[in-house]
Structure 1
């Protein structure tokens, strides 16, 4: 205790963080790195696998409903007009020439590494025989991207078919940049905050894909071979959306298949508080596909305050495309984020550079790229309009119609091989279990084992997740007021913390403060709202907090050792419980506040 209070934080991280791997899995991206790093690798959470199926599926996903209904379209248009009234721009069907609002024209300075270009090149999907006389810098461990015209010319003129073969799988951003004509199928193992299980995407395949992606990152990015993993410990920083069973499966993968020596689970919202050096806050985590809200008081997450909103940054990007098409400012090109994931990459980049929340008309001249099969990217200079409308969809979710990827079908029991959908913060963590007597000590569940050790454990009634179809301001207000204590409510309304990639949206903070203040009922004795300035990159706040907690918490009983997990499942006859990992003892809080 005295050492923790006196040691310099950077010294502690340097001493303990060199063998701690922090893993923060998200729906669209995974943030992973050593605790001693300043920032993690931020990698698209997907994998493209070689396939010889006919007909070929370019994307392995749910795609249950890819059409907008008439009612949804009308609701979206009404939401647009409400937003237009608030930010003082013409309504959807008004002619710009007939309005009195001054037009603001010009480029908007981006702030993401100074990169404005949205041109991407197709990924080279071939492996070369190292014994061939042709020298090409390519291997299964290094993704080489080049323009498609060069790619085709090289293949046809310099390489004979006998020395070319397809890479079995490709991970990360390069998986999103594979031409649709290539024999690959893109898999996204996590969708909307849950395992992406469907009739077309089995649990076993989801786990195999997760294992392949994480193992590839550990080898290629962190340079930790399988033979040395037992010397490392893993910190899993998991979103509140994950079910207990999903967390158990990830723990099994980390300890059994990836072979870490030990692991611990921490909650994403709580980790975000520590990432910014706080002890209490209302954490609003705005990811690519899901937004979660939870209140933390003195290092303890309050389960009753948890909220889940089924939208995120990718929905804002899709809304940007819808807005431009409605205003007929989008070039006449085939932009299809279902069959061409590279188009979503382009839209995300445009959103990050040009969208902001402010009053008045916000237009910009931008270069949009088209990605057609068999040709290099085409450039189209265009004027984008109403760029302040899409991010306002966070407060008016009817603008963000879920017309591409609906939430995973959690209610379809025939699709799932388990039923314990209890919340990760529920009291069921206190239940003590015994190991199945018919399960040998050297047999344990994994990706390729169809004998789950959890079958004999108690099954709890399915409880719906706290998902709500309300705007961000109303959800934050409801979350804080649910604490029921006026002193805590006032404290939390002054301590709203925005994390996740969407938190980088320009103009979001003042808009958030204004909208939340207006959402507080008039009979509540609260008249001030404040969004705290982030002390670290909002995209990595939860990952950074996980690193800090892991360093401070290392060696406590919450850590799960590989042998214990394999041989006993859940710490049989011990006083250790998973829930301990969500509650930080006084030494950590004392250290953070000192």
Structure 2
């Protein structure tokens, strides 16, 4: 056993401890904090947030100003005590007039903007109705959009020698069989409803369309001739709105149309850079403000505020870019955002409703309760009225439409197809019969041609695509998705922080099963590989509502997938694939952009209501009895009654409560959202969501977390 060494031995070996009174480091030594007795109020009081401080300062300024005005009025009243009572009455009337003028000034200094895939609606908050401008810009190019595309729209199939197929096989055997099946189902349904039908109606239509010949009308004999856009000298670099659609396809120089918004989101397929995309949006807005609102001088714009309508399921990168555009380029004094469904309830005057907004290329569904969008009820489907237009054109061509050369890439053909859809399509089965229609084909520099044709069930089956979306052409809707604009990512944990919804997650999971996992990580698929939906099964979205609580709603982070087996994307005959329940906070489908949200409208509505009600039968009855349809896609005749019947067949237990409402006061469904946003813009006294220039300069887009009425 080795004993303890003596001090002399340590000193001899150089191991003796010495103290030279020097610190181990020149850095200051901070004593450890007492963990039991420390406290901080950092970011725990409202006055420590800049947004709240500025709001309080503004309130104090208004209070001080009103007190000074009252004192001044009292002083003036004392000096004029000898005035007559009539003069005082006149003074009171003048004060009331001044208050009214001030109120009008508040409404007339607010610009309300609602951007859609096809139209822009813009106006002052004091206006009764907005100005509608096509959301399109024509730019100089070497070729027009019709010359730039190799294939016409809708795309036809060709034989080996390059000639087109027969009309019955023009769009492939799968599409033709689907169309014929829908036609046969319609006949069965009409017979069940005791509606009279001729047995050879389809043959009558085809034979008539085969032998019809167009009639030529000279331009000076055409009373409805179109005024085409005349190009100035020198021709402009770009043309915006209605004049852009009336530029001749064969103009010199050529112009190419660009639609910055597609399927309710930024159009990444037609643009080469993000800068050009948002530049076109700003040019369209700038032209509308100058020409539609009469604010030609940009020096006056800092006096105006702006209310901007955004989708319920928005992308944060889009919102922050728009906020920067409105603050920096347009220099508005204040800006605030409002969600589409909430604006729709404002415009209709409802406190709670299930809002179904059917636009040109997007359909959004959301349940609103007491002035708040229920987060887990939000659904965004990538289909709309434009799909009905294209499908109606395909059905007419299938039945030997006399104008077989129609191409929706051409501007005059696109406007013609939109007009035919608007005038002919109906959901009333009583209107389904062989009828003769006509239309005028007007091309720049050519004589007008009058075509006569017959239509049968195409007018009904085209809008039926909302309930059987596989009849739509969904092949190009995910083209170049996420190529220009990346998803917003949280700077702390690196997770995607765009808003998500349990109802949307359930629909996406039903359309495509979760990705297979390898070594714990999910395999990603190319963005071009898209899952087109098969016919949805209503039970997958609604079967759990009455039996058990749906996905946990306390967090908007995610939701488990459905527990039933759904049919994988493809078509009829695809074997069912079992979809396992995912218990992660972020479902796998939310991380993927290769799943296209195209789903049966009636089932999607019930899915949204199921997640909003959360197994509360009273809420379920309230929402299912307060469905409000807005948007231009809902203008099809008989659409509301048809949707009611579909919902009643899916939920017979609530058949008496189901009610489809329309906007009150005969308000156009297309402008309800804008009208609600204009009302919201007038609530200057109770609206705390305005973002000022000072706040944006100091905080940037972070100010949205404090200013939005919802969880941003």
Q: Give the TM-score, by structure 2 length.
A: 0.61
Alignment partners' CA distance in 2, 1:496 and 1:32: 26
Alignment partners' CA distance in 2, 1:61 and 1:245: 30
Q: By how many angstroms is 1:399 displaced?
A: 2.5
Specify whether residues 249 and 69 from structure 1 end up closer, same or farther in structure 2 by C-alpha distance, changes over 3 A only: farther
Residues 376 and 500 in structure 2, CA contact (< 8 A), matched pair in contact too:
no
Q: By how many angstroms is 1:428 displaced?
A: 11
Residues 193 and 242 in structure 1, CA contact (< 8 A), matched pair in contact too:
no
Specify whether residues 247 and 296 from structure 1 end up closer, same or farther in structure 2 by C-alpha distance, changes over 3 A only: same
- 2:672 corresponds in structure 1 to 541
Q: By how many angstroms is 1:385 displaced?
A: 2.8
- 1:188 corresponds in structure 2 to 259
What do the CA deviations read for 1:212-248 (whole angstroms, capped 9, x no partner)?
A: 1000000011011211111111101112353111111
Residues 122 and 130 in structure 2, CA contact (< 8 A), matched pair in contact too:
yes
- 1:222 corresponds in structure 2 to 293
What do the CA deviations read for 1:121-161 (whole angstroms, capped 9, x no partner)?
A: 2632411xxxxxxxxxxxxxxxxxxxxxxxxxxxxxxxxxx
1:278 matched to 2:350? The reply is yes
Which of the two has greater helix per residue? 2
Specify whether residues 429 and 98 from structure 1 end up closer, same or farther in structure 2 by C-alpha distance, changes over 3 A only: closer
- 2:29 corresponds in structure 1 to none
**SS at 1:406's partner residue?**
coil
Alignment partners' CA distance in 1, 2:434 and 2:605: 30
Alignment partners' CA distance in 1, 2:463 and 2:479: 24
Alignment partners' CA distance in 2, 1:327 and 1:58: 24
1:126 matched to 2:195? The reply is no
Residues 630 and 662 in structure 2, CA contact (< 8 A), matched pair in contact too:
no
1:168 matched to 2:273? The reply is no
Give the alignment partner of residue 470 of structure 1, picking from 596, 599, 614: 599
1:45-444 alignment runs, 5 A limit = 45-51=135-141, 53=142, 57-58=145-146, 67=155, 70-88=173-191, 95-96=200-201, 121=226, 123-127=228-232, 164-182=233-251, 183-198=254-269, 200-224=271-295, 225-328=297-400, 330-338=401-409, 340-360=410-430, 361-372=432-443, 374-386=445-457, 387-402=459-474, 405-407=476-478, 409-410=480-481, 412=482, 414-420=483-489, 422-424=497-499
Give the alignment partner of residue 479 of structure 1, picking from 602, 605, 608: 608
Alignment partners' CA distance in 2, 1:85 and 1:42: 41
**SS at 2:701's partner residue?**
coil
Range 553-562 or range 260-269, more displaced: 553-562
Specify whether residues 86 and 43 from structure 1 end up closer, same or farther in structure 2 by C-alpha distance, changes over 3 A only: farther
- 1:29 corresponds in structure 2 to 119
Specify whether residues 545 and 581 from structure 1 end up closer, same or farther in structure 2 by C-alpha distance, changes over 3 A only: farther
* Unmatched tracts of structure 1, length 5 or more: 1-6, 100-116, 128-163, 431-459, 584-594
Residues 119 and 377 in structure 1, CA contact (< 8 A), matched pair in contact too:
no
Alignment partners' CA distance in 1, 2:471 and 2:414: 18
Q: By how many angstroms is 1:409 displaced?
A: 3.7
What do you get for the CA RMSD once the two structures are aligned?
3.7
Alignment partners' CA distance in 2, 1:88 and 1:478: 31
**SS at 1:126's partner residue?**
coil
Alignment partners' CA distance in 1, 2:450 and 2:425: 20
1:517 matched to 2:648? The reply is yes
Range 255-264 or range 548-557, more displaced: 548-557
Residues 243 and 422 in structure 1, CA contact (< 8 A), matched pair in contact too:
no
Specify whether residues 275 and 556 from structure 1 end up closer, same or farther in structure 2 by C-alpha distance, changes over 3 A only: closer
How many pairs were matched up? Answer: 483
**SS at 1:165's partner residue?**
coil
Q: By how many angstroms is 1:378 displaced?
A: 2.5
What do the CA deviations read for 1:473-510 (whole angstroms, capped 9, x no partner)?
A: 11111111122121111001110000001222211111
Alignment partners' CA distance in 2, 1:578 and 1:71: 51
Alignment partners' CA distance in 1, 2:366 and 2:377: 5
**If you compute each CA radius of gyration, which structure gives the higher value, 1 or 2?**
2
Alignment partners' CA distance in 1, 2:268 and 2:637: 35
What do the CA deviations read for 1:387-414 (whole angstroms, capped 9, x no partner)?
A: 22222222222232336x524543x4x4
1:505 matched to 2:636? The reply is yes
What do the CA deviations read for 1:548-588 (whole angstroms, capped 9, x no partner)?
A: 1121255743111133324430356xx962432689xxxxx
- 1:563 corresponds in structure 2 to 694
Specify whether residues 297 and 226 from structure 1 end up closer, same or farther in structure 2 by C-alpha distance, changes over 3 A only: same
Alignment partners' CA distance in 2, 1:14 and 1:266: 22
What do the CA deviations read for 1:440-499 (whole angstroms, capped 9, x no partner)?
A: xxxxxxxxxxxxxxxxxxxx9964589643221111111111221211110011100000
Alignment partners' CA distance in 1, 2:333 and 2:672: 25
Alignment partners' CA distance in 1, 2:101 and 2:386: 38
Alignment partners' CA distance in 1, 2:175 and 2:415: 25
Alignment partners' CA distance in 1, 2:677 and 2:473: 33
Alignment partners' CA distance in 1, 2:147 and 2:680: 37
Specify whether residues 11 and 19 from structure 1 end up closer, same or farther in structure 2 by C-alpha distance, changes over 3 A only: same
Alignment partners' CA distance in 2, 1:512 and 1:215: 39
What do the CA deviations read for 1:145-189 (whole angstroms, capped 9, x no partner)?
A: xxxxxxxxxxxxxxxxxxx32122111122122211121010100
What do the CA deviations read for 1:360-391 (whole angstroms, capped 9, x no partner)?
A: 42454333233446424422233333222222
Specify whether residues 526 and 470 from structure 1 end up closer, same or farther in structure 2 by C-alpha distance, changes over 3 A only: same
**SS at 2:375's partner residue?**
strand
Specify whether residues 72 and 384 from structure 1 end up closer, same or farther in structure 2 by C-alpha distance, changes over 3 A only: closer
Specify whether residues 568 and 291 from structure 1 end up closer, same or farther in structure 2 by C-alpha distance, changes over 3 A only: same
**SS at 2:307's partner residue?**
strand
